[in-house]
Amino acid sequence: MYTPYNFELGVDLREQITLCDVGDIFTIPANNEKSFDQISKGIAHIFSSGAFPIILGGDHSIGFPTIRGVCRHLGDLKVGIIHFDRHVDTQETDLDERMHTCPWFHATNMANAPAKNLVQLGIGGWQVPRQGVKVCRERATNILTVTDIMEMGMDAAVDFALERALDGTDCVYISFDIDCIDAGFVPGTGWPEPGGLMPREALYMLGKIVQNAPVCGLEIVEVSPPYDVSDMTSLMATRVICDTMAHLVTSGQLPRPEKAAYIHEQANMSVGMGDWR
């Protein structure tokens, strides 16, 4: 859908970094927990190799097992989470399962991913459940609504996100839910919400964050091609991925001459495996 070259950034991804599609992680339909185990093992393997993981979804429930996979190779270090979304996704359960409304409740239960370092950008509208809001207040997470961002300005919003996500952490993981974008631009998603960020706004903030933080991974989620119109949503998701890689190149984070210092060789398989019920 795109060439590897971006005129504005002066980056050619094919020439400047090595790209590899490792394919799909095998999941088990209707068995969330076993699928989570598979995802965590796959992400841990990729992350520990020194490669920069980019995960494509799919249901946002994968946010928990992807972070768990990263945390297994952080040792005692910590990761901040910057989350673009219209929804907080901090409930403990949904229909008695860990689902797309629940990843950050369980991710921030892990010592490597403190709740105080969870920053959520673009929250708002009529699909933010009270159960999740209650958790955010109890755990003192950080939320900026679209209105907050418009009133304070995008640069100030980025500064806020970086300050909170990097407070005592060693790297930052970016979770980009496509429905943070106004529904008029991304029809191909399961939970469209009018009033979201404009594509230019989201890409601007994403770029500033990547340029100024040690980013350890990216996921782009809630893209549903069967719901899409003229590939609008898929094009936006691809732009998020390509822009992130380009900013990693221009900021000197890619290519990596060696593994990032926060990656530990030894895996801690007990991370995130406690009884959650």
| pLDDT for residue 176 | 98
Domain positions in the chain are 31-248
CA neighbours within 13 Å on the CB side: how many for 124? 17
Task: Give the global pTM.
Answer: 0.97
The residue among 35, 26, 48, 55 whose CA lies nearest residue 220 is: 55
pLDDT digits (tens, 9 = 90+) for 143-160: 999 999 999 999 999 999
Question: Is 277 a residue whose pLDDT tops 80?
Answer: no
The reply to whether 170 sits in an annotated binding site is: no
Kindly indicate the confidence band of residue 275, based on its pLDDT and cuts at 50, 70 and 90: low
Helices (H), the chain: 13-16, 32-48, 63-71, 103-107, 130-139, 146-152, 154-165, 199-211, 232-250
Average pLDDT, the chain: 95
| CA separation for the pair 212, 194 (Å, rounded) | 30
Compare 180 and 273 and report the one with higher pLDDT.
180
Question: Is 276 a residue whose pLDDT tops 70?
Answer: no
Single-letter residue type at 77: L
Residue 135, strand partner residues: none
The reply to whether 106 sits in an annotated binding site is: no
pLDDT digits (tens, 9 = 90+) for 248-265: 999 999 999 999 999 999
| CA separation for the pair 82, 142 (Å, rounded) | 10
| pLDDT for residue 97 | 85
Q: What angle do CA 140, 85, 29 make, to 5 degrees?
A: 105
The reply to whether 60 sits in an annotated binding site is: yes
Cβ atoms within 10 Å, residue 114? 19
Single-letter residue type at 62: I
The reply to whether 87 sits in an annotated binding site is: yes
| CA separation for the pair 174, 89 (Å, rounded) | 14
| CA separation for the pair 139, 114 (Å, rounded) | 9
- DSSP string of 40-66? HHHHHHHHHTT---EEE-S-GGGHHHH
pLDDT digits (tens, 9 = 90+) for 27-83: 998 899 999 999 999 999 999 999 999 999 889 999 999 999 999 999 999 999 999
Does domain 31-248 match CATH 1.10.10.10? no
